Structure 1
Amino acid sequence: MTDVVTATAGVYGTAPTCYLSCAARLPDFRLAHLDEELYAKRSLVRLRCMRGGMSYIEPLDLLPVLFACTGEPPDKTVKRTAKWTGLTEAELLVFADRVEAAMAGQPPLTVRQIRELLGADLPGEGSALQMTVALLGRTGRIVRSEVRGSWRSDNYAYALWADWVGAPLEPIEPAVARAELARRYLRAFGPATANDLKWWTGWTKRDTVAALASLADEIVTVSLDGTEAWVVADELERLTATDPDDGRCVRLLPVWDAYFMGYATSPAGRLRQIAEADYPRVYDKAGNGTSTVIVDGMAAGVWEIDHDAGTLTVAPFGAALTDRWSDLEAQVERLARAIGTELRPVRAPEPGPLSDGPRNTFLAPISLRRSTPP
């Protein structure tokens, strides 16, 4: 399980993507496998990191790196949070200390439970507690520990960092941290351009260039359709020696899966896994990747689950998926076992662009498009 997370440089932490991303990569995956790593072994942790706030699941050893070089500086976070809570920075810091003190010795608590624990006398505007909890998480004082509800829930409970992780964060120089994160990114996504790394991390161009330069002989440049790209040197031989037939497979990748979200938000960054004509069927205008079927590494359709009906509906892009329908049926059976339910595949007509539907059509790329009036 941790190998999957490391190999993808982290999976998106939101539910149900985190489970579905693991199910696509591990043949015998079950929901309890990820829960065990998150909640029992605590070898993996959810946190907001890349691009200033995207939720990822990452291995424990990478957390000091992520806190040192992703997201905004703590003083900027304090300033921004104070503005939106209606508190002064000093008042916000006092309130943060109060929240942390109230959580001491407690089991994991949701924001609602923290509110009940603190009582009615809360400073700031209505969202002040929620934003203060977020501030404590982004500064390594508390952690998203558990989820209340089903495997599709994002109702988090929080614990003190030291209570859950067992040790305080070790400080790392940001430049050293950026080098390590760049190394892991290239091992997961290389060949990739400097722009890809910049987008994925949320760094400045200067920091991105410096991080790549610091890796020196560990990485080498290659041409990616005429554009300079980087790959870890000891990966290059393996990549060039790989038989294309080794990657032949059909997989069901969920919304925001790392495979489609690892590169810069533009057709130039993402056309390596998608035919140009299919780009608007996989990504919306904001760059959100929808739930996508891949055939031999290339986008070949979109899909969604209706849990009440017990169906997994697939809208193929063309013949590539139609010709491999039996492989798709096997993947539907595999996914059904992983999430503990019964699913039957249903074929839908070839889809148009995500822009045919309302906002957030990428979350349900078939049913939301169907509901849009002509």
Structure 2
Amino acid sequence: MAERWQVTAQERTARVARRLMGRGAAGAEEVTGALVALHATDPATVFLSVDARLAKPERTFEAVEAALYGPDAGLVRMLAMRRTMFVVSRDSAPDVYAAAGRPIAVSERKKLLAFLAEGGGWDEKWLAAAEDAVSDTLTAKGELSGAQLSRLVPQLREQVVVARGKPYETTQNVASRIIRTMAAENRIERRRPAGTWTSSQFRWAPARPLEDRPADAARAAVVRAWLAAYGPGSEADLKWWTGWTLTAVRKALATVGAEEVRLAPGAGDATGYVLPGDAAATEAPAPEAALLPALDPAAMGWQDRDWFLPQEHRAALFDRTGNVGPTVWWGGEVIGGWGQRADGTVVWRQLTDRGAKAAAAVDDAAAGLTARLGGVRVTPRFRTPLERELGSA
């Protein structure tokens, strides 16, 4: 048996710099394809993840809005890996949905039926009628907000009793749960928000259909894309990123013919996997500075992050549930964090010293981002200690 290739931390950061960080993309679809999926729990993340990688970032907001909401929209939001909201390309959406979205949709429907039965005494027949009314209304009226839908569909104004008989008994509207489940099943989809690009108050419209894919083939396609962007990675990394069982991860790795590599001490300390033929050294590009938003895929791509983000900096850059805040990168490693003052100025703090050239490049990147934001202050949904501290300075 041939000896497995040993991957150093330097090799892994070179791959990150070349595959995930390089500024030069022509559009939002290209960025999304290179990163597989953009975290979209916080709508601003999508825009800022693209901004950090476009060749012409002064056109970020137009490019992302056109890709998401234009007549030929090439991106779509969906609930997928780890039951998290992502933006993916229309081309990859069938595989992402079959591999990760569809199982979540099944679970969401089961929970919704239990919620309605316990709190309101409604059954599957009642829910089907409500959902038909939502679909018919959107088809007839076009894009509508959740509030507009509720005014037009009486069933969405119903309320259920939660924790009946308990000291904390309360009532909840059914609208958000029904709409969420229909979106998870790709019956309706999110369109342009009612507010600004940072808003999460989306309008809704009938979803464009997705081609049906077998689950095993779809999982293999997702793993193939992940390895092309993030490889090498361990089984644990993939299990965490996808939210699948270890059995499903191993089956997908076998299907794509992934090659085993050794992750050297400091590079993950485990067996890793790359695509067939990808066990070769990467020429590191000239390092560039990048200010990436909270939940950017480059920081959330692996479960083990010690090889590009020192453990001693985790407390400053992550919240208590493992969500990463805004990060500052030099090449393929995290060297600090950033935030915004009340007036919108982007400021940063160095956590790892990479010299005067790196610091000057980050200063320039911060000034450029400040100018492009034009006074808009982006507050991450999951705030971290360093981001809060910089924001209050």
Give, in whole Å, the separation in 2 of the partners of 1:15 and 1:363.
21
Q: Provide, for residues 30-81 of structure 1, a one-character-per-residue CA deviation record: whole Å limited to 9, x for no partner.
A: 21111111111211111111112x1111110111112212143544321201
Give, in whole Å, the separation in 1 of the partners of 2:180 and 2:356.
45
Cα contact 1:247–1:297 (8 A) shared by 2: no
Change (3 A) 1:38 1:208: same
Cα contact 2:316–2:385 (8 A) shared by 1: no
Equivalence map 1:133-282=2 (5 Å): 133-161=179-207, 165=208, 168-216=209-257, 219-225=258-264, 226-237=269-280, 240-242=281-283, 244=284, 246-264=285-303, 269-282=304-317
Q: Secondary structure at the match of 1:145?
A: strand
Amino acid at match of 2:288: C
Stretches of structure 2 lacking an aligned partner (at least 5 in a row): 1-26, 161-171
Could you say which residue in structure 2 is the equivalent of 1:353?
none
* Match among 354, 357, 380 for residue 320 of structure 1: 354
Cα contact 1:15–1:153 (8 A) shared by 2: yes
Could you say which residue in structure 1 is the equivalent of 2:150?
115
Q: How far is the alpha carbon of 1:154 from its aligned partner? A: 1.1
Query: Is 1:46–2:80 an aligned residue pair?
Result: no
Query: Is 1:362–2:389 an aligned residue pair?
Result: no
Cα contact 1:316–1:322 (8 A) shared by 2: no
Q: Provide, for residues 272-315 of structure 1, a one-character-per-residue CA deviation record: whole Å limited to 9, x for no partner.
A: 21122212222233110110111222211111123x51311212
Change (3 A) 1:233 1:338: farther
Could you say which residue in structure 2 is the equivalent of 1:36?
66
Give, in whole Å, the separation in 1 of the partners of 2:212 and 2:192.
25
Change (3 A) 1:48 1:365: same
Stretches of structure 1 lacking an aligned partner (at least 5 in a row): 344-358
Q: How far is the alpha carbon of 1:317 from its aligned partner? A: 1.2
Equivalence map 1:89-108=2 (5 Å): 89-108=124-143
Could you say which residue in structure 1 is the equivalent of 2:31?
4
Change (3 A) 1:5 1:64: same
Change (3 A) 1:318 1:211: closer
Moved more, 20-29 or 131-140: 20-29
Q: Provide, for residues 131-181 of structure 1, a one-character-per-residue CA deviation record: whole Å limited to 9, x for no partner.
A: 1001110111001121121121111111001xxx3xx22211100110001
Give, in whole Å, the separation in 2 of the partners of 1:370 and 1:338.
21
Cα contact 2:339–2:390 (8 A) shared by 1: no
Moved more, 81-90 or 8-17: 81-90
**CA RMSD, 1 decimal:** 2.4
Cα contact 1:220–1:233 (8 A) shared by 2: yes
Amino acid at match of 2:204: Y
Give, in whole Å, the separation in 2 of the partners of 1:192 and 1:144.
32
Amino acid at match of 1:10: A
TM-score by length of 1: 0.84
Q: Secondary structure at the match of 2:324?
A: coil
Cα contact 2:137–2:152 (8 A) shared by 1: yes
Change (3 A) 1:368 1:301: closer
Cα contact 1:65–1:180 (8 A) shared by 2: yes
Give the aligned length.
339
Q: Secondary structure at the match of 1:104?
A: helix
Q: How far is the alpha carbon of 1:320 from its aligned partner? A: 2.7
TM-score by length of 2: 0.80
Amino acid at match of 1:206: T
Give, in whole Å, the separation in 1 of the partners of 2:344 and 2:130.
47
Amino acid at match of 2:362: L
Could you say which residue in structure 2 is the equivalent of 1:84?
115
Give, in whole Å, the separation in 1 of the partners of 2:368 and 2:335.
19
Give, in whole Å, the separation in 1 of the partners of 2:392 and 2:68.
37
Give, in whole Å, the separation in 1 of the partners of 2:261 and 2:295.
27
Q: How far is the alpha carbon of 1:186 from its aligned partner? A: 0.8
**Kindly, what percent of the aligned residue pairs are identical?**
24
Could you say which residue in structure 2 is the equivalent of 1:348?
none
Q: How far is the alpha carbon of 1:368 from its aligned partner? A: 7.8
Query: Is 1:302–2:324 an aligned residue pair?
Result: no
Q: Secondary structure at the match of 1:324?
A: helix
Query: Is 1:16–2:44 an aligned residue pair?
Result: yes
Give, in whole Å, the separation in 1 of the partners of 2:156 and 2:376.
48
Cα contact 1:315–1:366 (8 A) shared by 2: no
Q: How far is the alpha carbon of 1:230 from its aligned partner? A: 0.8
Q: Secondary structure at the match of 1:229?
A: strand
Give, in whole Å, the separation in 2 of the partners of 1:364 and 1:118.
44
